[in-house]
Structure 1
């Protein structure tokens, strides 16, 4: 590693360095001295009692391997900042690398190093961001904090370090197929098998079994667990447990969930605001006629005229067709449906349901339910739509399209981007703990006989089928927020003024895109610079060819040719992990804790005839007491922010040191603050405020 090598001898207060066939002596007082400052992390167990050695590597040579130790002082305590003087016997040139080594003192004691700064003899300060764990007898080599593209490295030492770093990472971060047809995931069976740098600081914080159990206890619903398979008596039974755990929105949902306006509103601003789309043609499989819905139309137009005027919308759960219902408990059959719902924008711009079919095949045993039907028939039809929406939300919108795809981006990043690459520094905060939470979920939550099977109608394998099915229509462009809105015909604010998910999402997307544009323009002088960046090209290709298994229909790019394409790609990664996940995750307790509004399973099959439904049948169709309790624990736990959560724009780990980057970061924060203010002002006085895409409530990464 050193550019020169020598042997040290001491004699009468002098140090003599032998190099080749000559030697030179220095008085100790004249030897160049570097002051090294080392910062230890403040998280639990960040400090260490192990030996820490440091070597300075310069263009002309290197320092001795120096033990960092202050006698009678406990170094490297949690949160500590320690300084040491390192003298060298000859000019080592400009510092290009520093090597840190940790050696066992008594037993291996992991250490988290935040950063190291070096003050040179000339008084200059060089920053070396680290922000990683040293485990066992680990060696870490750091470069200074300036971000560099691969083509910027000209020296043999820098190129060699970069190549070895990626070779090591590619052996550590390996792809593995969890299920056929899934996006690839990390090759680790359990959280403890993950590289230390991507593990949670405290594994207890993400123990799903422990967290769900605590949630059930804290929600005061554990008293019902002993009656696991028994039914509730009526809706007042739900209310008795709910009144202990309500919040502002969930209480409003409980009070209004039966009303058509609340049912329609959730398609726009509930947990799963991605199913609704403009209806341009009534599907043949859903033979709704004008006569059926004439009473619902307010503009003296026919159904066909309303269609042409752009006042009809549709939510089609075709993906649910033929998904296997949970059969893990033979004593309690569970059922699924694949409904279609026609929605109407009335003269007050409210979205209302006007027709529901509970299967994909019309016929005598698949009637079309209408608001004019018996109130119990209509209510049960809406409950079935809400249950199907819950399944698609949890498995496709949430699991696949935020958790699993963010893991793909994260693994490819670690495998293909050096720590000094600007895209690595940019993306790292946005994949924080994502691989860890997904690994923990595969270990406890969505595994065979996991917690998901306890309460969900798609447990026992149906959720796997759903992901496999959804992957066949999952495209890269569907992750581009404005394009995903446009593809559903939902882009016009004039036509649909109360679609806050769209409006707030566009603002956050533009703020992120503007920030990424600023960053790309700092490091890429031209489109040719993008094309010549072998690491960014390898990153994009790894995502498509390995992460997405090169599926033809996914249409993920295998390369990026322009700065504009790179900006869009990195914006997709950041937006998906931050804003999109926040929009569809943190409202789960608000919208799903009132169980009749989001049943995780149904215990009776979808009705096939009208006029046979009463309140008793509805209650008996809803989840039993035990599954209701598990469901409440789940949506509560999943809706909580991580301890010490970092929100969009918060980057306490300073991986970048360049002034233009810090200016871009400040501009980004200012734009996010402005968006938060606009959302806060709009929400003033609203009974149903929409705040899931307020930047001050958007965590940086998928971590829960």
Structure 2
């Protein structure tokens, strides 16, 4: 490391001539008027500033010689202006290239950074600067990828560094001040309301979900900072407190997107446009369907499964005679009129929901027991099922508070369906598995069922069969004892049945289990375990790791868009009265429930091998390529995931070993140690005393840590996010709530179940409006954007670092991912051997396709592709 600056220093010390030379460069940027259609006057104003010689200037900083009179900061070259600003105008091209010429004294050596001053009226997005022929070196690349606001907005100059990578102790002394000052600026002062041009990364509790000024129903507990409600930290905005609760941050109007995140964390305009287009499409679908329901014989309900299918098959056309003028008066339609220009022009029919994969080939295969079980290992939430190691299934809930919560399932109830095996034999041979949501749901069930929701805490037992498929054996539905009774669980157990009322009851039991799994998936597997837990890493990395730092360069692609999508979620999805509370069964207790489950979160267990071992679905086996043997050999998520995990781990090991060739370098890296200290003690401060945190003293710990972060942000998120619409876009397959308890024999509801089981099923699961809201949300979340960057890819792929060995290692990583994808395709095509990859619904498992070979095929609702980051 440091050779090219060191060699240049040696050369420059022998150069006594002080020869001045012109260095030609190219600046690539995007101007605001191209990106922001609301500021159409920006181009004209900027043109005026150019005429007044108040344009954009760049000033090179020497990495070789410092100014001793100025703290030995790198000597500055002469300011240079971007050329031909007014001539180089386009309202359609996203990127614009500008020539620039620097006067540079050869004795100053190699430039290692530059200052940019934007004297225009509006901000610009600076992508790159390339110096074409630096004396004694050749090309120098600066990868900037940052918004630059007018200079008066900043207390200190904006500085960008060349693409050389340095540990803090190896940084050339003339650049040290600039490296340190940049981090100081990014940390901010910790006070005040942050503005759009601020670049501050700071922490706050989740105290912005409720709106107590609107009434008690909209108050929510603060998550984070307490033992009762621990939570990862979010990005600070500094907004004022509410009037009625000084601990709750005030909220913006519901439809506002004017929330603070550091400017470089905001969505690209193309992605934002697509996102808004998808959102508006979903809103219009809800609106039209609700209007159509007024002409239905049972408004707000689906009467038949065909009514549900009509959402996809006929686009929910408006009834004749509908007064469109009245509809246009709706606030949602006004929003549509304002933003309609942002809609994509991809030819997709606006009012027709795409057909979910789960019903494309067969409209009823989702109801089979085989498909119900298969989705636990190859569906939208394949990360919960575990091997049952004791019978009956036990509970970890405190018996003093909750009483006896041990399962009531008996051997007699399940052994008759176990192909001749006894329970003890199946446990010994590791053939019994369980989807267990009992402990997660039970503590909140009394409160949940006090709302319009009527549901249960569920346990589902399954048997692993000889052909590799899973066979449901029983579903237990439990309720807490009524008030005034000793604490405990009142449980019913249901066995599989195909015909008559028993078959209808079994279908309802599976629906209740699916309701639990849908809520847990959205709140825990998806939101908490990817979105929420990654945000502190994003914040800490920008506060403590310089852009010159090797670990910053390694992790930065895996943080793209995360702070923005999380802020957007807090604004309209997980807030009090938001979409999640309206569509998922825990309702107003959703986020509080996720806080309770965060109490058991363990960073090291987020590693895929550790997770599989913890759930008992794998055992150590040194003979296997990944050191594990899967008990369910045909477990698509785990099989594909282990290959992806291994590829990530190899890439991280090769990369980290290049910069850290001894453990002492880890221990002596001041920025790395500050970063890790802040992640543990601040970002995840409610877990700071846990013994499982890596100490960050060895290369093994660093490699483990970075591999987990990349895995969670990329592959894990892809596995639990992009399967949502393919499987849950058809809500009967994965209902999000239930509104009735199981019908009891002798009651009118039971008679109705006997006479019209489909109608009872539809009356029990998610209602029409909630279905439309929920499906609309997951359609948006399941789409890959046009500007997505996938695992194994990077922006500026050839110049993100100047170090050759890491670049070569990254290319090997990309090639390995292509080979993995080809192996996955091969497994998916072998339907006879790998039955869980295709299933009765004939949907191949593609969620862990890296899609590095042809990323264009992953755009939209493809159900394939691993983006680098939690970006949607």
TM-score when normalising by structure 1? 0.88
Structure 2 CA distance for partners of 1:529 and 1:609, relative to 1, 3 Å: farther
Q: Which runs of 5+ in 2 are unaligned?
A: 1-15, 37-41, 50-54, 66-74, 189-199, 207-221, 224-229, 240-256, 315-353, 395-405, 482-487, 620-628, 832-837, 852-864
Could you tell me how far apart the structure 2 residues matched to 1:662 and 1:429 are? 15
Q: Secondary structure at the match of 1:367?
A: strand
Cα distance, 1:622–1:450 mapped onto 2, change above 3 Å = same
Return the offset for 1:62.
2.5
Alignment of 1:200-279 (within 5 A): 200-202=267-269, 205=272, 211-215=278-282, 217=284, 221=289, 224=292, 226=294, 230-243=300-313, 245-252=354-361, 254-279=363-388
Give the structure 1 partner of residue 178 of structure 2.
161
Matched, 1:34 2:60: no
Cα deviation, residue 456, structure 1: 2.4
Aligned to 2:418: 297
Q: Which residue of 1 aligns with 2:407?
A: 286
Cα gap change, 1:222 to 1:514, in 2 (>3 Å): farther
For residue 769 of structure 2, the aligned residue among 616, 626, 629 is 626
2:79 aligns to what? 65
Query: Cα distance 1:573–1:364, how it changes in 2: closer, same or farther (>3 A)?
Result: closer
Question: Paired residue for 2:129?
Answer: 115
Deviations 1:599-640 (A, max 9, x none): 111111355779964124322212221111112211211110
- CA 229–387 in structure 1, closer or farther in 2 if over 3 Å, else same: farther
Q: Does 2:513 align with 1:345?
A: no
Unaligned 5+ segments in structure 1 are: 1-23
Confirm or deny: 8 A CA contact 2:408 2:491 kept in the other structure: no
1:253 positional shift: 7.1
Does the 8 A contact of 1:325 with 1:458 survive in 2?
Answer: no
Please report the RMSD computed on the Cα atoms of aligned residues, expressed in angstroms: 3.0
Between 1:522-531 and 1:130-139, the stretch displaced more is 130-139
Distance in 2 between residues matched to 1:568 and 1:205, nearest whole Å: 34
Residue deviations 1:66-100 (CA, integer Å, cap 9, x gap): 33334873389852332222224683233232111
Task: Identify the match of residue 376 of structure 1 among 466, 480, 504.
Answer: 504
Deviations 1:285-323 (A, max 9, x none): 11322221232111x222222222211011211201132
Match for 1:136 among 134, 139, 150?
A: 150
Give the alignment of 1:379-418 within 5 angstroms.
379-418=507-546
Do structure 1's residue 575 and structure 2's residue 591 form an aligned pair? Answer: no
Q: Secondary structure at the match of 1:111?
A: strand
In the other structure, the counterpart of 1:95 is 111
Alignment match, 2:850? 695
Matched positions, count: 671
- Which residue, 676, 684, 704 being the options, matches 1:540? 676
- What displacement does 1:646 show? 1.0
Range that drifts further, 43-52 or 372-381: 43-52
Once the two structures are TM-superposed, the CA of residue 361 in structure 1 deviates from its matched residue by 6.1
* Matched residue, 2:687: 551
Cα 1:71–1:409, aligned 2, differ >3 Å: closer, same or farther? closer
CA distance, structure 1, for counterparts of residue 258 and residue 517 of structure 2:
30
1:479–1:95: structure 2 CA closer, same or farther, 3 Å change rule?
same
Alignment deviations for residues 214-270 of structure 1 (CA, whole Å, 9 cap, x no partner)? 136469856646579622213332233344532443435742222111111111111
Deviation (angstroms), 1:552: 5.3
Question: Which structure 2 residues correspond to residues 350-369 of structure 1 after superposition, within 5 A?
Answer: 350-359=469-478, 365-369=490-494
Aligned residue among 699, 721, 726 for 1:563: 699
Q: Match of 2:551?
A: 423
Instruction: Decide whether the 8 Å contact of 1:326 with 1:453 is kept in 2.
Output: no
User: What does the per-residue CA deviation read over 1:171-197, in whole Å, with 9 as the maximum and x for residues that have no partner?
Assistant: 111100013222100013665422211
The CA deviation at 1:141 is 1.3
Q: Which residue of 2 aligns with 1:648?
A: 791
2:610 alignment counterpart = 483
Matching of residue 454 in structure 1 with residue 582 in structure 2: yes
SS at match of 1:321: helix
Query: What's 2:816 paired with?
Result: 671
Contact 2:282 2:773 (8 Å CA) reproduced: no
Question: Paired residue for 1:79?
Answer: 95
3-state SS, counterpart of residue 590 of structure 1: helix
Q: Tell me the distance in 2 between the aligned counterparts of 1:473 and 1:364.
A: 23
1:173 lines up with 2:194 in the alignment? no
Distance 1:414 1:62 in 2: 26
Q: Is the 8 A contact 1:548 1:554 kept in 2?
A: no
CA distance, structure 2, for counterparts of residue 578 and residue 204 of structure 1:
18
Q: In structure 2, what is the Cα distance between the partners aligned to 1:195 and 1:473?
A: 31
SS at match of 2:370: helix
The separation in 2 between residues aligned to 1:208 and 1:130, in whole angstroms, is: 25
* Mapped partners of 1:232, 1:636: distance in 2: 20
Q: Could you say which residue in structure 2 is the equivalent of 1:5?
A: none
Equivalents in 1 of 2:363, 2:683: separation in Å?
41
After alignment, is 75-84 or 136-145 more displaced? 75-84
1:660 corresponds to which of 800, 805, 814: 805
1:184 aligns with 2:233: yes
What is the CA–CA distance in structure 2 between the aligned matches of 1:253 and 1:400, rounded to whole Å? 33
Q: 1:371 to 1:198 in 2, by over 3 A?
A: same
Q: In the TM superposition, what is the alpha-carbon distance from 1:593 to its structure 2 partner?
A: 1.8
CA contact (8 A) 2:231 2:686 kept: no
Question: Counterpart in 2 of 1:45?
Answer: 35
C-alpha displacement at 1:683, in angstroms? 1.4
What is aligned with 2:428?
A: 308
Question: RCO higher in 1 or 2 (8 Å CA, sep ≥ 6)?
Answer: 1
Higher deviation after alignment, 656-665 or 115-124: 115-124
- After superposition, the Cα gap between the structure-2 partners of 1:467 and 1:682, relative to the gap in structure 1 and judged at 3 Å, is same
Aligned counterparts of 2:741 and 2:384: Cα–Cα separation in 1: 23
Partner of 1:516: 652
Superposed displacement of residue 454, structure 1: 2.9
Structure 1 CA distance, aligned partners of 2:603 and 2:765?
37
Does the 8 Å contact 1:541/1:559 carry over to 2? Answer: no
Is residue 152 from structure 1 mapped to residue 170 from structure 2 by the alignment? Answer: yes
Distance 1:546 1:526 in 2: 28
Q: Render the CA deviation track for 1:422-446: whole Å, top value 9, x for unaligned.
A: 1111111111000000001101111
Q: Could you say what secondary structure the match of 1:296 adopts? A: coil
Is 2:357–2:727's contact at 8 Å kept on the other side of the alignment? no
Distance 1:140 1:209, change over 3 A: closer
Contact 1:513/1:567, CA 8 A, preserved across alignment = yes
**Separation in structure 1 between the aligned mates of residue 677 and residue 454 of structure 2, nearest angstrom:** 41
Q: 2-side partners of 1:230 and 1:242: how far apart?
A: 18
Partner-residue secondary structure (3-state), 2:697: coil
| Equivalent-residue separation in structure 1 for 2:271 and 2:99 (angstroms) | 34
The answer to whether the Cα contact below 8 Å between 2:27 and 2:97 also exists between their aligned partners in 1 is yes
Instruction: Confirm or deny: 8 A CA contact 2:81 2:100 kept in the other structure.
Output: no
CA distance 1:544–1:677, shift in 2 (3 Å): same
* 2:595 alignment counterpart: 468
- The structural deviation recorded for 1:34 is 2.1
Structure 1 residues 593 and 68: alpha-carbon distance in aligned structure 2, compared to 1, 3 A threshold: closer
Do 1:263 and 1:352's aligned partners in 2 also have CA atoms closer than 8 Å?
no
- Segment of structure 1 superposing worse, 191-200 or 269-278: 191-200
Per-residue CA shift, 1:24-74, capped at 9, x if unaligned?
999xxx632222321225995399746111112223433222333348733
Report SS of the residue matched to 2:825.
helix
- Structure 1 residue 327: Cα displacement: 8.0
